[in-house]
Structure 1
Amino acid sequence: MQASGPFVVSNSARIEIDPALKPSTMTAAFKQFGRIHIPGFLRPASAEMLHRALAAEKLWVCSTMGGGKTIDVPVEQLEAFPPDQAMRFLQLAHAEARDGFHYMFDSVRISDLAEQGQLLAVELAAAYAFLNSPAFLDFVRVLTGDPRPNYVDAQATRYERGHYLTQHDDSAAEKGRLYAYVLNLTPHWRTDWGGLLNFIDADGHVAEAYTPAWNALNIFRVPQPHAVSCVAPFAGAPRLSITGWVRQIDLSLLPSRKTP
Structure 2
Amino acid sequence: MSGPVAPGEITIAPGLDPLRLQPIFRRTRRLHIPDVLPGQTAAAICQALIRDTPWKRSLFLGDRGVALDFDELAAMPADARARLDQGLAQRARDGFQYAFDSWSVSDEVEAGRRTGHPAESFYDFLNAPAFLQWVRAVTGDDRPRYCDAQCTRFNPGDYLNGHTDEAEGKNRLYAYVMNLTPKWTVDWGGVLLFIDQDGHVAEGYTPAFNALNIFEVPQPHSVSIVAPFAGTSRLAITGWIRSAGPDA
TM-score, normalisation: structure 1: 0.88
Stretches of structure 1 lacking an aligned partner (at least 5 in a row): 4-8, 251-260
Counterpart of 1:26 in structure 2 is 21
> Which is worse superposed, 68-77 or 12-21?
12-21
SS at match of 2:138: helix
Report the alpha carbon displacement of residue 97 of structure 1 after superposing the two structures with TM. Answer: 1.2
> In structure 2, which of residues 58, 62, 73 is the aligned counterpart of residue 78 of structure 1?
73
Which digits, 9 at most, give the CA deviation of each residue in 1:112-165, with x for residues without a partner? 111011244431210110010122111111100111101000000001111111
Give the Cα–Cα distance (whole angstroms) in 1 for the partners of residues 35 and 74 of structure 2: 35
2:5–2:41 CA contact under 8 A, matched in 1: no
Are 2:61 and 1:66 aligned? yes
Is this contact kept in 2: 1:13–1:123, CA < 8 A? no
Q: Which residue of 1 aligns with 2:225?
A: 230
Matched, 1:147 2:142: yes
Paired residue for 1:206?
201
Q: Which structure 2 residues correspond to residues 81-100 of structure 1 after superposition, within 5 A?
A: 85-100=80-95
Matching residue's letter, 1:122:
H
Identity %: 49
Residues 1:52 and 2:53 aligned together = no
Give unpaired runs (5+ residues) of structure 2.
none
Specify the alignment match of 2:177 in structure 1. 182
Figure out how many residues of one structure are paired with residues of the other and give that number: 245
What is the TM-score with the length of structure 2 in the denominator? 0.92
Structure 1 residues 10, 238: closer, same or farther in 2, change over 3 A?
closer
Corresponding letter in the other structure for 1:98: R
Q: 1:11 to 1:220 in 2, by over 3 A?
A: closer
Hey, what's the Cα distance between the residues in 2 that align with 1:79 and 1:185? 28
The answer to whether the aligner puts 1:102 opposite 2:134 as a matched pair is no
1:24: how far off? 1.1
Contact 1:198–1:209, Cα closer than 8 Å, also in 2:
yes
Amino acid at match of 1:103: Y
Q: CA RMSD in A?
A: 2.0
Give the drift of 1:78: 3.0
SS of 1:64's equivalent in the other structure is strand
1:129 aligns with one of 124, 146, 154? 124
Task: Check the 8 A contact 2:156/2:230 in 1, yes or no.
Answer: yes
Q: Structure 2: how far apart are the matches of 1:13 and 1:57?
A: 22
CA contact (8 A) 2:5 2:44 kept: no
